[in-house]
């Protein structure tokens, strides 16, 4: 299945800023998201946090199980 995503906002931010961003109303009102540059433990924390806000991670990528990227959709 191929996903076409229209991106309204793109940012390269530090993990501490990302933790705040993913709980913000502006983020939670987006239909789609891509989060990247996460270390393994950070990726686990973000995935757990997103699940509390009814986000669905559609696809995951990792580079040598070190750097992680998520494509997701708000439900």
Kindly report, residue by residue over 9-36, the tens digit of the pLDDT.
Answer: 666 789 999 999 999 999 999 999 999 9
pLDDT band of 52, cuts 50, 70, 90: very high
Only one residue has tokens 């997701």, namely 72
Greatest Cα pair distance in the chain: 33
Residue 13 has a pLDDT of 84
Please state which of the ranges 7-11, 52-56, 58-62, 70-74 shows the lowest mean pLDDT.
Answer: 7-11
In degrees, rounded to 5, the angle at the alpha carbon of residue 68 between the alpha carbons of residues 41 and 3 is: 135
Helix (H) or strand (E) holding 59: strand 55-63
């Amino acid at each position: 299945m191929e996903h076409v995503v229209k991106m309204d906002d793109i940012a390269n931010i530090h993990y501490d800023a990302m933790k705040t961003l993913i709980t913000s109303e502006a983020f939670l009102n987006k239909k789609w998201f891509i989060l990247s540059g996460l270390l393994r433990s950070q990726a686990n924390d973000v995935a757990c946090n997103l699940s509390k806000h009814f986000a669905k991670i559609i696809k995951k990528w990792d580079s040598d199980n070190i750097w992680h990227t998520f494509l997701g959709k708000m439900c």
